[in-house]
Amino acid sequence: MKNVVTFGELMLKLSPPGYGKIVQSRQFNVEYSGAEANVAVSLSNFGMPTRFVTAVPAHELGDAAVNALRQFGVDTSFIIRNDNRLGVYFAEKGASQRPSKVIYDRSNSAIACAKPNEFNWDAIFDDVEWFHFTGITPALSDTLASICLEACRVAKAKGITISCDLNYRKKLWNRERANEVMTELCRYVDVCFANESDARDIFGIIAPEIDVEKGLIDKVSYATVAKQLAKRFDFQAVCITLRESITASDNNWSAIMYENGVTCFSKKYPIHIVDRIGGGDSFAAGIIYGRLNHFEAQYTLDFAVAASCLKHTIEGDFNLVTAEEVEDLLNSNGTGRIQR
């Protein structure tokens, strides 16, 4: 099977153990992650050959970041090493009525400072079938926006399927700039991922009668969002995750996929959350896995939702389940009976 390439930032994630707040923690758990890296790791855990492209510093933190991906079999040979810093993010896990909080410290990172000529897209895309990135990558710097565009052009020229998770981050850029850049990039995109608010924030596409903050989700309304997105950019498929937040501890999780005029709706999982960061990335990985394996649309969606449901039960940003474990959930009823 050919490779999947993902491209984006790889950060040091620091988080208080358990439900600790930063002001009370004397130790931080250490992870190395990022939206696109998470997708690569999940696909690799499903058995797909994956390649992750980024830039990290030449010192030990860069080594540790590379090792963190390499342990799961991701090909890290195209990762650039330079003298800039590793972006950091701090994540405080919420519980019940207390929301999770994220503090980003990612300016001037190795990837944000990367130069176009450092990436040999022709080589990177050799023997590649799918290219995935998110809206975070072009938001990191104007140069990265250009690099993303260049990557898309090369990928398109090579007939590689391109997917993008809109992933709007208001602290990285404003809606106008996001709209401008993402509009250009989306012309190359085949499969678009979004959560409940991305389409609204970037493209002003609004689900009728929805108030995301209230935690209420109407899957039918979102089908119209998917349809509008697909129409505007001629996407092959649009996938939207639907997170109903009851509290920080309990969410309902489902998704829809719109393709060729048809919307598939997934089952809705009531999840008692272990760690929800990386949920969207694990969903994207599930969809890419399904499409690369030519699963039917409904099964692809079901697989992706089951995969990302399981991610919510795992500590850390990476989805550590195998394809077999996802299938076990699909074939069972999610009652979690012990497996001896």
Report the C-alpha gap between 327 and 181 in whole angstroms. Answer: 37
294 makes contact with a second copy (CB under 8 A) = no
Q: Please, which residue, 233 or 253, has the CB nearer to a second copy? A: 253
316 makes contact with a second copy (CB under 8 A) = yes
**End-to-end Cα distance, the chain:** 33
What does DSSP assign to residue 243?
E
338 makes contact with a second copy (CB under 8 A) = yes
Cβ atoms 1, 129 nearer than 8 A: yes
Can you name the residues that pair with 252 across neighbouring β-strands?
244, 270
Where does residue 88 fall: left (phi above 0), alpha (psi -120 to 50 degrees), or beta otherwise? beta
334 makes contact with a second copy (CB under 8 A) = yes
100 makes contact with a second copy (CB under 8 A) = yes
281 is catalytic: yes
Residues 6+ apart with CB under 8 A from 248: 94, 95, 96, 97, 98, 99, 100, 273
Find the binding residues for a second copy in span 222-281 (CB under 8 A): 245-250, 269-274, 276-277
The one catalytic residue in 75, 190, 198, 281 is: 281
Site string for a second copy, 160-199 (x = CB under 8 A): ---------xxx----------------------------
214 makes contact with a second copy (CB under 8 A) = yes
Q: Please, which residue, 38 or 161, has the CB nearer to a second copy? A: 38
Q: Please, which residue, 231 or 272, has the CB nearer to a second copy? A: 272
Find the binding residues for a second copy in span 39-68 (CB under 8 A): 59-61, 63-64, 67-68
Cβ atoms 144, 111 nearer than 8 A: yes
Can you name the residues that pair with 165 across neighbouring β-strands?
134, 193
26 makes contact with a second copy (CB under 8 A) = yes
The residues carrying an active-site annotation are: 281
